[in-house]
Structure 1
Amino acid sequence: MNTFLFVHGAFQGSWCWDQIKPSLQQKGHTVIAIDLPGSGEDATPPQDVSLESYVNKVVTTIEKIDEPVILVGHSMSGMVISQVAENIPDKIKKLVYVCAFVPENGQAISDIASGGPKATFDEKNQTITLMEEFIAEDMLNESSEEDLQLFKKKIRPQPVQPFEDQVSLTNERFGRVPSVYIETTNDRSIPVDLQRQMYATKPFERIYTLDADHFPFYSRKKELVDCLLDIAVTER
């Protein structure tokens, strides 16, 4: 059995994985989901949040686990799991990008994504807050009304600094960690064409395709779990 460590995307928290965790646990896997600094229930002031603080939180969590983990990152956290793999490659069994950013060395999210989410900027707190119509139309466009309302209830303003911070990656470390990508073909937040441009830059072991929006842990729960279970049984 494996240990899955889930890292959420922007505006979210560990809660976003709640609906798929039980299915993995029922198969005997250990499942850990964390709140990044300034997200979920973490009380770090947004002005103190950076990509480095995200990475440090994940590294600290992994170092407490006895075995290498399957590290899963959604959306923004493709940047986070990439840097974590660079820092501690021997502690990662596999990287799993769920419609996530795949950076090249020296890139930030702001270098990859054009425009970004439709959001309002709070200069004092250095955060952005999603606009209501964008959530339903461009993010959870294939998810249920129940999941949409849950998402709206739980999201928080997103610290902006992690979008500007660059990763530092090498082929010798990050490049040797086995990776898979789960693309989402009905994604309006990170369109599938952009996903494919990004994952073409790295030799992924396998590409999984889901006819899902940007939140497959809502819109395609079973299919996402099936992908993760398949990843877990595939030899490194």
Structure 2
Amino acid sequence: MADDAKNTGTGRDTSTDTGTSSAAAPSRRHALRRLTAVAGGAAVAVGLGTGVGRATDHGGARGQGQAQAQGQGRGRRGVRTYVLVHGTHSAGTFWAAIGRELALRGHRVVAVDQPLHGTERFVPEAYQAQDLRALATEPSPLAALTLDDFARRVTNTVRRAARLGGPVVLVGHSMGGVSVSRVADAVPELLAHICYMAAFCPSRTMPSLNDCAASPEGQRAINPVEQVIGDPEKLGVLRLNWRTSNRRDLALFKEMICANYTDAAFLRVLEGMQTDESLAAYAGRAVGRAGTWGRIPRTYLRMGKDRTVSPELQDRMIAEADALTPDNRFTVHDFPGAGHLGPSDPAPLVDLLHGLPVTV
């Protein structure tokens, strides 16, 4: 059964402490704790469920000065293009069920594969062989990637989508939120709406994904420090073995990303994960400016049982964004029973995305 979205009031304006990590000690354990404090750095999985049934209205929105995102009026008219951005260790196939349903409702849908993800994914030879000793040292081409590379890929997609005509809606999940912020700041004139799904939305006090995750609120997420393979600082990537047979590791991964999924659905999620993610991309600055990013209508899909981007961090990011642009605040839809991947039945997410109000 799908988790219901509900109105829980305005987001809390929590501490503005940047919460930088105190793990400066040279020990490997401390280094790993600092690096894996990126919260989403281990857990943006693929696949939001398989059965999108007849979508229904699953609740309300909160926020001031925003239209209700329930698809009334001009927002439902005409063909839109949805550009969908996956998170870390993931790929465009994350959006398969949602994208299919949006296309069946008459929209164009482009699920972006970031560089060396998805159809370009890097698969370490040692991962295929499950040689953990070799996996700890096998070099990764993702170490050379930066947030600039990710933002460039999404910006180029948005430009091409805009040339097709009709409104363009940019949606990011988890780490995909930093690309949303970068792209919206660079080409606001091309975007009719931006949407963050349990996604990182950096601010002046937390300018990167690392800073968001290292904040006191971000530290309330699950930290997979014991599951990291190799030395991230030497590899230049955060590497995880999703094919592990260790029951403790599997239980932690499931709790981190989709505790509300069945075991069978969780195993399907693991099949879509990739081992490596760029450390440099986690550190990239992605702060939207009031006059560019801040003028685009925006929505946040808040997951109440998220153990990767904690609900407390989601609330702080929302509050700090709204403080920057008080006349253009987030419309927030709550999914109180959902983990990081959202409700196991994505129908309510499809409803909300289909009904987002757009500027024309």
What TM-score does the superposition give when structure 1 sets the normalisation length?
0.91
1:167: how far off? 2.1
> Deviation per CA, 1:85-134, whole angstroms, max 9, x where unpaired?
01111111110000111111471111111357414154453221345443
- Paired with 2:211 and 2:330, the residues of 1 have a C-alpha distance of 25
- Paired with 2:287 and 2:314, the residues of 1 have a C-alpha distance of 20
1:50: how far off? 0.8
1:42: how far off? 2.0
Q: Secondary structure at the match of 1:12?
A: coil
Counterpart for residue 19 of structure 1: 97
The answer on whether the counterparts of 2:297 and 2:358 sit within 8 Å (CA) in structure 1 is no
2:254 matched to 1:136?
A: yes
Look up the equivalent residue of 1:109 and give its one-letter code. L
1:220: how far off? 3.5
2:80 matched to 1:80?
A: no
Percent identity, aligned pairs only, is 24
Change (3 A) 1:175 1:43: same
Counterpart for residue 230 of structure 1: 355
- Paired with 1:220 and 1:21, the residues of 2 have a C-alpha distance of 14
The structure with higher relative contact order (CA 8 Å, sep 6+) is 2
- Corresponding residue to 2:228 among 103, 120, 134: 120
- Paired with 1:34 and 1:125, the residues of 2 have a C-alpha distance of 25
What TM-score does the superposition give when structure 2 sets the normalisation length?
0.61
Change (3 A) 1:175 1:121: farther
Indicate the structure with greater strand content: 1
1:41-52 correspondence runs (5 A): 41-43=119-121, 45-52=141-148
1:1-236 correspondence runs (5 A): 1-43=79-121, 45-65=141-161, 66=163, 67=165, 68-105=167-204, 107-114=207-214, 115=219, 117-118=223-224, 119-120=227-228, 122=230, 123=232, 124-130=234-240, 132-156=250-274, 157-203=276-322, 204-210=329-335, 211-216=337-342, 219-231=344-356, 234-236=357-359
1:153: how far off? 1.4
The answer on whether the counterparts of 1:185 and 1:209 sit within 8 Å (CA) in structure 2 is yes
- Paired with 2:288 and 2:315, the residues of 1 have a C-alpha distance of 20
The answer on whether the counterparts of 1:72 and 1:96 sit within 8 Å (CA) in structure 2 is yes
The answer on whether the counterparts of 1:78 and 1:102 sit within 8 Å (CA) in structure 2 is yes
Change (3 A) 1:143 1:43: closer
- Paired with 1:146 and 1:31, the residues of 2 have a C-alpha distance of 27
Q: Which runs of 4+ in 1 moved over 3 A?
A: 121-125, 130-133
- Paired with 2:211 and 2:98, the residues of 1 have a C-alpha distance of 31
Look up the equivalent residue of 1:223 and give its one-letter code. P
Q: Secondary structure at the match of 1:207?
A: strand
Larger Rg: 2
1:169: how far off? 3.2
The answer on whether the counterparts of 2:207 and 2:286 sit within 8 Å (CA) in structure 1 is yes
Segments of 5+ residues of structure 1 without an aligned counterpart are none
The answer on whether the counterparts of 1:212 and 1:220 sit within 8 Å (CA) in structure 2 is no
